[in-house]
């Protein structure tokens, strides 16, 4: 069964600090991995996507890494801001014929305090 | 572009009542999805539609039905609501770029 595990479950940091969120997966056949940000009361929004051949991808203060051998990904947030407070969801997709089948992690809840 | 829209935003039902959640997208996407999100759980796929005229079951389809009315619209129906269906429901559509899904704002459903 395809699974995506995220850690930590929740994290509290001070504004301006860095943090790293982790994602481990067992999804086959692997197609791509996305990190989504979900603000409270809103739908998730894609931050980054990584395919098998990519091991680093940046989007502003967000940097995602992928190690396809160990099936691990991380999301690093630099110089955190209050607006970074949200749930961060790792989604790994398997390719099945012409369809992509996503498996969602449970998310890491990040709170940034002033 | 409105993206993905959902109605209603909030709904309270009594056990046994029925209702339909509406979803529409204006991005000309072929694939559309319905998820539910419960506290402490990841998003779980209820049903999806790879293209107009086709629908398939996801991880948790029991108690739900769907209709892909046309390319734009994908509705989710609860025939006889149960308290276990209290959840936040998200509709999404998928673009062509490596499975990026665009989510609606969600419908918060409470079944008493």
pLDDT tens, residue by residue, B49-99 = 988 989 999 989 999 999 998 999 999 999 999 999 999 999 999 877 666
- Ordered DSSP codes for chain B: ---EEEE-SEEEE-TT--EEEEEEESS--SEEEEEEE-TTS--EEEEEESSTT--EE-S--TTEEEEE-SSSBEEEEESS--GGG-EEEEEEEE-SSTT-EEE---EEEEE-
pLDDT-derived band at A83, boundaries 50, 70, 90 = very high
**Which residues in A lie closer than 8 A to residue B31 (C-beta atoms)?**
99
For chain A, how long is the longest CA-to-CA vector?
48
B30 sits in the region (left: phi over 0; alpha: psi -120 to 50; else beta) called: alpha
- Closest Cβ opposite residue A32 in set B90, B92, B99: B99
Judged against a pLDDT cut of 90, whether residue B24 lies above it is answered with: yes
- Partners of B101 on chain A (C-beta within 8 Å) are 44, 46, 91, 102
């Amino acid at each position: 069964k395809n699974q995506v595990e995220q850690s930590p479950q929740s994290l509290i940091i001070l504004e301006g600090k860095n943090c790293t969120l982790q994602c481990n997966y067992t999804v086959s056949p692997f197609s791509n991995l996305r990190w989504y940000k979900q603000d409270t009361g809103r739908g998730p929004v894609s931050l980054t996507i990584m395919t098998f051949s990519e091991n680093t991808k940046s989007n502003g203060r967000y940097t995602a890494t992928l190690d396809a051998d160990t099936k691990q990904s991380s999301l690093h947030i630099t110089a955190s801001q209050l607006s970074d407070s949200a749930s961060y969801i790792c989604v790994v997709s398997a390719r099945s014929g012409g369809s992509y089948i996503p498996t969602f992690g449970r998310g890491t809840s990040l709170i940034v305090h002033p | 572009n409105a993206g993905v829209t959902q109605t209603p935003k909030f709904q309270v039902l009594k056990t046994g009542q029925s209702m339909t959640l509406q979803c529409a997208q204006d991005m000309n996407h072929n694939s559309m999805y319905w998820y539910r999100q419960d506290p402490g759980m990841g998003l779980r796929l209820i049903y999806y539609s790879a293209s107009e005229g086709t629908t398939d079951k996801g991880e948790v389809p029991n108690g739900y039905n769907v209709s892909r009315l046309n390319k734009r619209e994908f509705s989710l129906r609860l025939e006889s609501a149960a308290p276990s269906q209290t959840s936040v429901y998200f509709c999404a559509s998928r673009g062509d770029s490596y499975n990026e899904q665009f989510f609606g704002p969600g419908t918060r459903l409470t079944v008493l």
